[in-house]
Amino acid sequence: MSPAQIKDLIRTIPDFPTLGVRFRDITTLIAHGEGFQASVAHLAERAARSGADMVAGIEARGFIFGAALAAKLGIGFVPLRKPGKLPMPTIGIDYALEYGEARLELDPGVIAAGQRVLLIDDLLATGGTAVAAAELLRRAGANVEEALFVVNLPHLGGAQALRAVGVAVEALVSFDD
C-alpha cells in the first residue's frame, strides 16, 4: 500500500476540537489492518536507516506506532508519558502548548548514555510536544537526531521547529491545509 493510499485512510473531521480546525484522525487508519501494517512497514524502512537502538513514542498515539515499529525492528521502546503515569522516579519536562501547558515524563533508567533514540508520533503540528520530547530524551542521555511521523501538517511549522534543535524529520504523509 502506498503512502497516498495510506493518506486516503486518514479521516478529516472539520471543526474539531474548535471551529476552523481540520482534525486528522488516524483511528480509521489503525482500524484498517492492511493500512496499519503498511504504515508500520514504511516507517520501519525509514527507521532502519537511522541506526536507532530504541524507539521513543509520545503519549498516546505515538505508543501505537512506536511500539509496533520497535517490535518490527527488534529494538526497545520507551514511552514518553503524561505526568503521574509511571510508578518509579522520573525526569520530566514542562512545555507550552497553544492552549496551555503540558508535561512529559520518562523513566531515565531505560536510556543508556549515548543511546541512539528515534522519536515517533502520529502527527506533527506545531512541534511543541516533539521538541520537548527530544529535549527530555537528551536530558536522559539519549542521542536524538531523527523523528518520524505518520502525518505532517507543514503549514504549522513543526518540522522547522524540530530541525532548529537538530532533529531531522520525516513523515509518511502531509496535509497542506
Residue-number span of the structural domain to which 114 is assigned: 51-174
**19 falls within a domain:** no
**8 falls within a domain:** no
The residue written with cell numbers 501494517 in the block is 37
**3 falls within a domain:** no
**114 falls within a domain:** yes
Q: H/E element holding 30?
A: helix 27-30
pLDDT over 80 at 148, yes or no:
yes
* Contact (Cβ atoms closer than 8 angstroms) between residue 91 and residue 106: yes
Alpha helices in 104-157 (DSSP H): 128-139
Residue-wise pLDDT tens digits, 33-71: 999 999 999 999 999 999 999 999 999 999 999 999 999
Per-residue 3-state assignment (H helix, E strand, C coil) for 54-70: EEEEECCHHHHHHHHHH
Counting the structural domains of the chain, the total is 1
* Contact (Cβ atoms closer than 8 angstroms) between residue 28 and residue 9: yes
In DSSP terms, 102 is beta-bridged to 95
**166 falls within a domain:** yes
**165 falls within a domain:** yes
Residue 61 falls in the annotated catalytic set: yes
**151 falls within a domain:** yes
**45 falls within a domain:** no
Q: What CA–CA distance (Å, rounded) separates 110 from 65?
A: 19
Residue-wise pLDDT tens digits, 78-122: 999 999 999 999 999 999 987 789 999 999 999 999 999 999 999
Q: 24, 61, 81, 146: which is the annotated catalytic residue?
A: 61
Residue 98 falls in the annotated catalytic set: yes
Q: What is the pLDDT of residue 108?
A: 95
Query: Angle at CA 13, nearest 5°, toward 12 and 16?
Result: 135
- CB neighbours of residue 128 within 10 Å: 17
* Contact (Cβ atoms closer than 8 angstroms) between residue 140 and residue 91: yes
CATH number at residue 94: 3.40.50.2020
Q: 45, 49, 98, 101: which is the annotated catalytic residue?
A: 98
